[in-house]
Structures are given as C-alpha cells and as structure tokens.
Amino acid sequence: MSFWKKKTEKWVESPMHNNWYQSSSYFLSSFALITSVSEDGVTSIGPYQLSFPFGVIERREWIVISRRGSNTSKNLLRNKKCALNFVEYDKKHIPNIVDLGYPGQAPEEKMEDCTFELENSPTESFVTDPERPKVIKEAFQVFECELNDNPEDFHYAGTEFTEYLLLKINHVHLRERWKKNLDKGNDMEIPNMPISFGFRNANQFWFAKHKKPFWLPTPENKGAKHDAVMYIANRLDEEITFTENACKQLTGIPKVFVKTALKGIIKEAKSQGITTIDKAFIEEVNSKRQ
C-alpha cells in the first residue's frame, strides 16, 4: 500500500534531536557547492543544503546556515566573498560531493582529489581579486556573493554550533543555454539538479534525482478578470495607459498581487519613456522576468 493511502495511520510524535530536520523528520532540497578562498589563497568547495533565497523581490539575497568554524564560514567572515555553484545531477560526482562535505579537512587537502574543475570567475573585475573564489566548471549556474553582516539587515543569534550568513548576490551567471532556456515559455526545460535528503543514520548521506518536471497552467478563473485589471491599471498613474489587450495578458495574476505587478510594469515603462502599455510591452516584460 502506498504511503498516501495510509491516511488513517496514527500520528506518532518524533523526539527532538540535534539536526532535527534530518534526524527526526524528512526534508529534501537542492544544495549549493560554495567556493571561497582560504587565507593561503586556495579556493575550496563546501556543499550546503541549508542554503536558500532570502531577499527575493527587490533585493537579491541568500542565506546559508553553516556549522561554526567551517572553511566557508571562516573565509566569509574574513574576506566576505564566495560563489554559490549549482551543478546538474551526475552520479560520478556524488561521492566527491560527500567527501567535500566531510568536516575538518583543510582546503588544500579537500581539493587534492576533487573531481570538479575550477575556473576563473566569469566577472572580469573579480579575476584579478585574489579573494574572489574560482567557480566550478561543471556548474550550470553561479551566484557570486558578498557577506552582508549588517545586524540591521539580519540578526539571529543562532547557537554556539551554527552561523547564519546573509549573502548579497552580486552577479547571477548562467551558462548561455540555460539563459536562453528562460525565454522559451512552454518549451522551457528545468535543469536536472541533484536533491539532498541530508545526513542520516550517523553514517549516510542521502541523495535523489528527479524525474522529468512538468508544468500546469495557473488557475485562470481565480485571477482578476481583464476589465477588473484594467480598472485598477488605469487609475495607478495618470501618465500611463494600459490597453485592453495588455490587461488580457495579466489575468493570470492572483488578485492580491495585481497592484504590485502593475506598479512594477509602470516603473519599467517609465524607465523606457513609454506611456501606453500594450500587449507587446507586457510580453517583453514577461520574457525578461522568466
């Protein structure tokens, strides 16, 4: 019997253990291979599953939860620079990812048998900065970051074991194919990213790969109708007019987000000196946002 059919099975409370999300429950996610530079100028790689988008609308930020004293956290606290490298699933690299995640190895030591290749930063001005880490050649996507240690932006005391590192993303780099893929609409592909279920049973690291991703249209009948969108759109800024066909493009947006989305579109139009927002303009904005 598959698990979902066991709706009537009784609930059992799971005890609190350290690292509870991987010892007392199930959690799956992507992970970043973080490159950073040691005091001796060596770029090394640390895998981090607890690594998530943080500032997501007008700020591009990332949070990393690291054990205190990891190479990554020491390097970041010293020179404030790192790169988050994302690779596609390739079984031959998985054992090396586990090796790179073994605590306590010095950067030179861990990089000795590394199966990933490093290359210079894709940002020209970073190449000559010895504190900017190299990036992973096999990566399909790299975020180059700097530490934001301003306590007004983020402060969480954590514990003596954990460090919460808020990163400002300076550059998002995609391999050309993946950048072009973002503009493909319905034919878009999703990178075959490996999944981590984390460290379990004291001596195992669990991974998975996903099947072919699929998409569903967002519910049309739940969004605002185009005339309702038009009513709001043409009252937000007297210098800007939305055409009916433009508004028909915007009916998929959940009602609660319509105003914010329209304001973003108006801002974009004004920056380009446009006063009439038509269907073509919305399509252009949408393709940039994908």
Ligand X SMILES: Cc1cc2nc3c(=O)[nH]c(=O)nc-3n(C[C@H](O)[C@H](O)[C@H](O)COP(=O)(O)O)c2cc1C
**Residue 79 touching ligand X (CB under 6 A):** no
Least gap, CB of 73 to ligand X (angstroms) = 7
> Residue 50 or 265: which CB sits closer to ligand X?
50
Q: Which of 22, 35, 43, 44 binds ligand X (CB under 6 A)?
A: 44
CB-based contacts of 278, cutoff 8 Å, min separation 6: 243, 245, 246
Phi and psi, residue 245, nearest 5°: -65, -30
Residue 174: CB minimum distance to ligand X, A: 22
Distances (CA, A) of 26 to 32, 36, 163, 184: 19, 29, 22, 34
SS3 state of residue 59: coil
Determine the interface stretch with ligand X among 65-73, 151-159, 165-173, 221-229 (rule: CB under 6 A).
65-73
Nearest-approach distance from CB 148 to ligand X, in angstroms: 19
Backbone angles phi, psi at 246, to 5 degrees: -65, -45
H or E element, residue 94: helix 94-100
Q: Is 98 in the site for ligand X (CB under 6 A)?
A: yes
**To the nearest whole angstrom, how small is the minimum distance from the Cβ of residue 105 to ligand X?**
7
Which residues are 135's β-sheet partners? 119
Pick 116 or 281: Cβ nearer ligand X: 116
Report the half-sphere exposure of 186 (CA within 13 A, side-chain side).
3
Q: Write down the least CB distance from residue 159 to ligand X, Å.
A: 12
Q: How far is CA 13 from CA 3, 16, 19, 25, in A?
A: 18, 9, 16, 10
Cβ closest to ligand X, residue 191 vs residue 264: 191
* 70 is a contact residue toward ligand X (CB under 6 A): yes
Interface positions, 182-221, toward ligand X (CB under 6 A):
196, 205
Residue 194 backbone zone (phi > 0: left; psi -120 to 50: alpha; other: beta): beta
Rule CB under 6 A: say whether 22 interacts with ligand X.
no
d(CA 24, CA 87): 28
Q: Please, which residue, 71 or 249, has the CB nearer to ligand X?
A: 71
# binding residues, ligand X (CB under 6 A): 20
Q: Is the dihedral of CA 224, 230, 231, 236 positive or negative?
A: positive
Q: Which CB atom, from 67 or from 289, has the smaller least distance to ligand X?
A: 67
Provide, rounded to whole angstroms, the least separation between the CB of residue 143 and ligand X.
16
**Residues engaged in binding ligand X (CB under 6 A):** 31, 44, 46-51, 65-67, 70-72, 97-98, 101, 103, 196, 205
